[in-house]
Structure 1
Amino acid sequence: MIRLSRLDGEAFLLNAELIKYVESRPDTFITLTSGERLVVAQTMDEVMRLTLEYQQTKGLVPAPAKRPTN
């Protein structure tokens, strides 16, 4: 689940696995696999970051490789 906000500031949790795609028009629209559309206060990049972090905690996407320090 990822925490998002509606345009009026109301927070809600969204199952990130249900996201089909995200658009910026200029508000951020999230279309779910069910066809339902949500408008959120977060930017498209923020939704992507939160979704990737969620998927990494579930082991669905590997965490970025750490670069060695010299």
Structure 2
Amino acid sequence: MIELIRLNGQPFLLNALLIEQVEAFPDTTITLMNGKKIVVLNDIQEIKAIINDQYSEIGLIGVQRKVEGS
């Protein structure tokens, strides 16, 4: 679950696995897999970082290391 802020300033938790896309219309709009849209105060870059951190924490994104000599 990731924590985001609604336009009215109220924080809420969202299952990041349900997110299909994130757009800026100018307000940041999250479209879920079921077609529901949620408008939030968070900007796209912040949401991207939060999602990547969450995916990394639960093991959906592997850690990348540079290997010398390749």
TM-score of the pair, normalised by structure 2: 0.88
Identity value in percent: 42
How many pairs were matched up? 66
Q: Which amino acid aligns with 2:37?
A: R
Runs (4 or more) in structure 1 with deviation over 6 Å come to none
- Secondary structure (helix, strand or coil) at the match of 1:46 reads helix
Gapped regions of structure 2 (runs ≥ 5): none
Pairing of 1:1-70 with structure 2 (within 5 A): 1-65=1-65
For the aligned residues, what is the CA RMSD? 1.2
Cα distance in 2 for partners of 1:64, 1:10 equals 35
Partners of 2:65 and 2:58 in 1: CA distance:
17
| Structure 1: distance between partners of 2:8 and 2:17 | 24
Q: Partner letter of residue 21 of structure 2? A: Y
Instruction: Flag structure 1 segments of 5+ consecutive residues without an equivalent.
Output: none
Equivalents in 2 of 1:19, 1:38: separation in Å?
A: 10
